Copies of this chain bind each other. A is one copy, B any other.
């Protein structure tokens, strides 16, 4: 992969991230941007829970999906956008802790399709638990979604 990201690419990803209403509404923070790898963080809040008080699988998935999408976007040419075409997540352990951290990593960067691995950890102080692992296929689009 490319060795470093330009400030321009980082700004492009941060702009896209700020344009996502859902990320702001859930309270997701950008934690790290590297070539082909992005980490997002989601602090716990009662607005994010399922019926037992854990993070809802939907919150875990929204976080993981965005981490993978931005990992792919670090490799896309200027003027291209990213859409998820499919997503699969295995929930390994109950998602409880101070925050969730999701890292997306590009496994295969293609001209049309990019495949990412995503992993989510629950962090409580210094303890980290692996709560989810998944795979995601993303498509590189110019402007609107292709048919």
Contact = CB atoms under 8 A, between A and B. Distances in A.
A103 interface: no
A144 B111 contact: no
Interface of A: 16-17, 19-26, 45-52, 56-59, 61-63, 65-66, 69, 81, 83-94, 107-108, 110-113, 115, 117, 130, 133-135, 137, 139, 144-147
Contact of A49 (B20, B58, B81): B20
Contacts of A88: 86-89, 135
Contact of A91 (B50, B87, B133, B146): B87
A20 B115 contact: no
Given A25-B48, A93-B145, 14 more contacts: A22-B50, A22-B58, A24-B47, A25-B47, A51-B81, A52-B144, A57-B84, A58-B62, A61-B87, A85-B137, A88-B89, A92-B107, A94-B145, A110-B147
A29 B23 CA distance: 21
A83 to B, nearest CB: 7
